[in-house]
Amino acid sequence: MESNDRATRLSLGGVTQNTFSGNSNVKSFIKTVEGMIDEGKGLMREYKREIELLKSDISLMEKKIDTINQTQNLNTIIPIIRSDLSSLGQAIDLQKEENNNLQKQLTTLKKEKC
């Protein structure tokens, strides 16, 4: 190889470039590097957008988990509440019956006294 055509191999970001001495080649190499920088910036923007999307997905998943947990809690609590309401209804009915019996006894006692 002659000294003017001497090739130097440079590797940047996985790209191999043959460069020769001379102004035009330096300028083209600088443009190549600038292009790689611009591409890197674009990839960084895309990466940041993807991060935001993933954060949004995580937030949605957390909301779904909260909803599922609330549903499971309701499924656990509702039968207990129904059972308690049933017991309360039975206790109220028994109390009403006892009150009626006591009222009848009072009425009978009042009649006997008169």
What is the residue extent of each domain of the chain? 7-113
Strand-strand pairing, 15-20 and 7-12: antiparallel
What is the reported pTM? 0.48
CB within 8 Å of 25: residues ≥ 6 apart: 19
* pLDDT in the model for residue 113: 84
Rounded to an integer, what distance in angstroms lies between the CA atom of residue 42 and that of residue 75? 49
At residue 29, φ and ψ (nearest 5 deg) are -65, -40
Rounded to an integer, what distance in angstroms lies between the CA atom of residue 47 and that of residue 43? 6
3-state helix, strand, coil in the chain (%, to 5): 80, 10, 10
Residue 12 has pLDDT above 70, yes or no: no
Q: How confident is the model at residue 106 (pLDDT cuts 50, 70, 90)?
A: very high
